[in-house]
A = this chain, B = another copy of it.
Amino acid sequence: MKNILGREVPDFIEGYGKVRHFTGAFANLGERRKAGALARSAAPGQRKLLPSLREAIESSGLKDGMTVSFHHHMRNGDHVVNMVTDTLAEMGFRGLHLAASGIFACHAPLVGHLESGVIEQISVNTFNPGPVAAAISRGKLQKPAILRSHGGRPRAIESGELHVDVAFIAAPSCDEWGNINGTHGKSACGYLSYAYADALYADRVIAVTDSLVPYPNCPVEIGQDLVDSVVEVDSIGDPAGIVSGTTRIATDPVNLLIARRAARLADAAGYVREGMSFQTGAGGTSLAVAAELRGYMLKRGIRGAFGSGGIHAYFVDMLKEGLFRALFDVQCFDLAAIASAAENPRHMAMSASMYGNPHTRGCLVNNLDVMILGAAEIDTDFNVNVITGSDGVILGASGGHSDCAAGAKLTIIVSNLLKGRLCVVKDSVTTVTTPGETVDALVTEWGVALNPRRADLREALRGSGLPMADIRELRRIGEALAGVPEPPSFSERIVGVVEYRDGTVIDVVRQCV
C-alpha cells in the first residue's frame, strides 16, 4: 500500500515482519508497557573478568540467530565491532543480527561476514557512507536492514521490538566488576549514551576494555549492576578516528551565505532570545550557523539554555564563554568535546532515550528551539532524505535527523541548491527519512522556502530581508541549472526498512539494479 506520504510500503516484509505504517509524526504517542529486562543475579565473590573475548562469548550463551549489539562512540576509530565479529566468525556463529548504533568505513570487514552468512541482519541508526551501506544496497544481507533514528533505537530496545541477546560495550575505562565510563582512559571517546539502553535491556552485557583500572572506576557511567563480564584487550580503538573530516567552520562564501540566512531566519522568527537552545551537526555549514548565532548572542548579551547532540569544540567553547548554561551530550565529535565531558560538570551526558525517544515523558529534542539539519534530498512537501543518494545507494541513516526535526520549534534544512551537480529539491525524494510536517524551512543560496504549515513564520519573517521563495520555485531553478536526472533503478526486493522514531515504517529501500 501507499502510506500517507505516498510511499509504497507493503503490509508485510519478509525478514522484517508485519508493518505498522507511518501515520503522522505525532500519531503514535500515548502509553504502552515496556519490555521487562532480564534480572540476573551475581552471588558475592562471583568474578566477571574473563581471559578472552572468546571465553566471554562462550559464557554469554550466544547462539546462532541471536542479536549482538554495539555502540558507535569510537566512530571511525572503532576496533571492537571488527574484533568481536571476527571472533564470532571464527567460533562458527551463523545468522546473527548485528544491532549497532552506528557503522563506519572502518567496519568494512563486516562485508565479508554478511557474504558468508555470519551476519544475516543489521539494525543501525547512523552510517558513514561506506562499504557496509553499499553492500546492503547491493542485497548482500539475507534480511533487510532496519534503519532507525537515535531516539528510535532505544525505543525499540525498551519496547522489546529490538531484543538484544548480548551487548558488547567498548569501555574506555573499566574496573574488573564492570563499572564503565567513556570519558577516561587511553581510548576515551566521551559519554557512552547510545549504549545505555543496551546495558539496561540486553540479556548479557560484556564490557570490552583497554584500560582496566583499580576498583572502583570513577566516575561510574554504566554500573556494575548491569554488566555480566569484562574482557581486557589491547585496543578498543583509535580516538583519532572519532574526529570526522567535517568539523571546521565553512569558509566557502556560498555556505557562509546560507549559514547567515539560517541564523537570520532563526532570529527573525524570535528564537534568538534569553534561554535559547539549538543544535547543529559538525559539518562546515552547520558550524557556520552556530558561529552566526554565537555572534548574535554575544552582541546582545544573550545567555542560552543549552546546546545538544553530538558535541563539538564549538559548543564546548560556547559553554566556556557562558553562552550556554549546559550541554547535553549523546556523543563527542572531537577531542575537545571528550576533554570537556571529562572535566566540566555542565557538559552533561544524556541517554539516547532522553535525547530523542518519543515514548518518554519528554525527550530533550522537545526542548530545542532551533535545529539545523542537512539533506541529501528534500521534496516539495519538505520530506527529507538523508538515507540514499540519488543513485539509490544507501549513504546514511537518520541519526538524530528525524528526532530533532520532530522536537525542535524551528527545524531548518541548510543546503546548497545544487549538490553533486544535482538539484537537492525533488518532486519526490528517493527515500523519506524525516516527514515534511516536522521540517519548517529550507535555506539555500537561491532563496529560503518555508513550509506552508508555518503561516506564523511567514508572518514573522516579513521585513527580515530574507529572500523568500516557494520550494517549487527552488526546484525549478535547480532543475533548470542541473537538469532532471533519471531516477535510479530498483528491483522489487526490499533491502532496508526505514523505521520512523515511533517504530512505524515510513519508507523502504529497494535493491539497486
**Which residues of A does B touch, CB under 8 Å?**
26, 29-46, 48, 155, 158-160, 177-178, 205, 214-216, 218-220, 223-228, 275, 305-306, 325-326, 328, 345-346, 348, 350-351, 353-354, 357-367, 406-407, 409
Q: Are B305 and A45 in contact (CB under 8 A)?
A: no
Q: Are B43 and A39 in contact (CB under 8 A)?
A: no
Give Cα A42–Cα B26 distance, bound, in whole angstroms. Answer: 10
Q: A178-B361, A218-B345, A367-B177 are in contact. Are A224 and B354 (CB under 8 A)?
A: yes
| In the A-B complex, the 10 residue pairs with the closest CB atoms | A29-B41, A225-B360, A42-B362, A33-B36, A39-B359, A225-B354, A44-B366, A34-B36, A36-B36, A218-B326
Cβ contacts under 8 Å, A345 to chain B: 218-219, 345
Cβ contacts under 8 Å, A275 to chain B: 214-215
Q: Are B40 and A31 in contact (CB under 8 A)?
A: yes
Give Cα A506–Cα B74 distance, bound, in whole angstroms. Answer: 48
Q: Are B325 and A214 in contact (CB under 8 A)?
A: yes
Q: Are B43 and A33 in contact (CB under 8 A)?
A: no
Q: Are B361 and A225 in contact (CB under 8 A)?
A: yes
Binding site of A, secondary structure by majority: helix, strand, loop or mixed?
loop
Listed by A's residue number, 13 A-B pairs whose Cβ atoms lie within 8 Å are A31-B41, A32-B38, A34-B37, A36-B160, A42-B360, A48-B362, A177-B362, A215-B275, A216-B367, A224-B354, A225-B357, A226-B360, A226-B361
Shortest A212–chain B CB gap in Å is 14
Residue from the list B44, B348, B406 in contact with A407, Cβ < 8 A: B44
Give Cα A34–Cα B32 distance, bound, in whole angstroms. Answer: 16
| Chain B residue at minimum C-beta to C-beta distance from A154 | B225
Cβ contacts under 8 Å, A364 to chain B: 224-225
| Chain B residue at minimum C-beta to C-beta distance from A358 | B41
Give Cα A46–Cα B366 distance, bound, in whole angstroms. Answer: 9
Q: Are A159 and B361 in contact (CB under 8 A)?
A: no
| Chain B residue at minimum C-beta to C-beta distance from A42 | B362
Residue from the list B26, B214, B226 in contact with A43, Cβ < 8 A: B26
Give Cα A328–Cα B36 distance, bound, in whole angstroms. Answer: 27
Cβ contacts under 8 Å, A362 to chain B: 42, 46, 48, 177-178, 224-225, 227
Shortest A255–chain B CB gap in Å is 29
Give Cα A216–Cα B406 distance, bound, in whole angstroms. Answer: 20
Give Cα A126–Cα B34 distance, bound, in whole angstroms. Answer: 30
Give Cα A296–Cα B381 distance, bound, in whole angstroms. Answer: 74
Known contacts A40-B359, A218-B326; 12 further A-B pairs (Cβ under 8 A): A33-B38, A34-B38, A36-B160, A44-B407, A178-B362, A216-B326, A218-B325, A219-B345, A219-B348, A223-B351, A223-B354, A224-B354
